[in-house]
Structure 1
Amino acid sequence: MDMSLEVVLLPVSDVDRAKEFYRDKVGFHVDLDGEVMEGVRIVQLTPPGSGCSIALAEGLRVPTGTPRPGTYHGLQLCVADARAAYEELTARGLEVSEPVRYAPQDGATFLYFTDPDGNGWAVQEYRRRATEPLHQVLARLAEGEE
């Protein structure tokens, strides 16, 4: 059975502020912004080229123990060129770290930023993405080619 991760609920304290941040500073597309049931507003945003979105919620009852705004860390975006991502994000006014290369292999360069609540993101350079979409890599892995 195939499964895909398509939406991650991101805890934020102010949905409008977070929507503006992810749309204007990070460049996510707003897919949905509306009341999905009485008193519950969902804003769903998707990074360009991604099959997975984030959802921001207002009025949603969350169970005890659910992460609170600013507690998510390790969310990760992948790009083909970390320097180009850095330039684009800083041009949008986002405070983002300089790219750091941890090792010589592909996939070892990262930059980091946080949203207004303190949720932490990494941006990973994975040059192979420019020539080969992830679904092609995964299909070959499933067939035992790599």
Structure 2
Amino acid sequence: MNWTLEVIVVPVTDLDRARTFYADGLGFHVDHDTVRGGQRVIQFTPPGSGCSVVMGSALRPMPPGTLRGMQLVVNDLRAAHAELLARGVPAGDIQVLGGPSPRPATADDDLNFVGFLSFQDPDGNGWTVQQITARP
């Protein structure tokens, strides 16, 4: 049996601000932005992902800004970092997490599996991006 993760609910305070951040800042595709029964729901999907992010005026299972541990995976972390910065997303520096402690990445580092960067959405929800270029 396959178990697929399809949707993550992200708690936010301002749907318009979140839509701008996720669509324009991160480049996520807006699957739909719908109002039904007075409740607005927006669904985004990261390019190439099978899992979507949903937020809405009635979808707040936790306080805005408290979601942590969401992780995106890219095959080129340096390019992803440059793209985030170019889009105005205040992403942290690339870190290498292999070894005894995290350290800043150098130009010579192979980032496969060990390269990470972090950022937060406008509400403070935390995201991590990891590089995986080849899986065993």
TM-score range, shorter chain: 0.7 to 0.9
Matches within 5 A, 1:31-110: 31-35=31-35, 37-58=36-57, 60=58, 66-103=61-98, 106-110=112-116
Local SS of the residue matching 1:128: coil
Matching residue's letter, 1:54 = V
Matching residue's letter, 2:96 = R
Matching residue's letter, 2:78 = R
C-alpha deviation, 1:67, in angstroms: 1.3
Instruction: With a CA cutoff of 8 Å and minimum separation of 6, indicate the structure with the bigger relative contact order.
Output: 2
TM-score by length of 1: 0.80
CA distance in 1, matches of 2:51, 2:113: 20
Residues 102/20 of structure 1: CA separation in 2 closer, same or farther (3 Å cut): same
C-alpha deviation, 1:61, in angstroms: 6.3
Unaligned runs of at least 5 residues, structure 2: 99-109
Matching residue's letter, 1:94 = V
Contact 2:68/2:125 (CA < 8 Å) preserved in 1?
yes
Residues 105/118 of structure 1: CA separation in 2 closer, same or farther (3 Å cut): closer
Larger mean CA deviation between 49-58 and 105-114 belongs to 105-114
Tell me, yes or no, if structure 1 residue 125 matches structure 2 residue 124.
no
Unaligned runs of at least 5 residues, structure 1: 130-145
| Partner of residue 30, structure 1 | 30
RMSD: 1.7
Moved over 2 A (4+): none
C-alpha deviation, 1:39, in angstroms: 1.5
Aligned length: 125
CA distance in 1, matches of 2:89, 2:24: 9
TM-score by length of 2: 0.86
Matching residue's letter, 2:80 = A
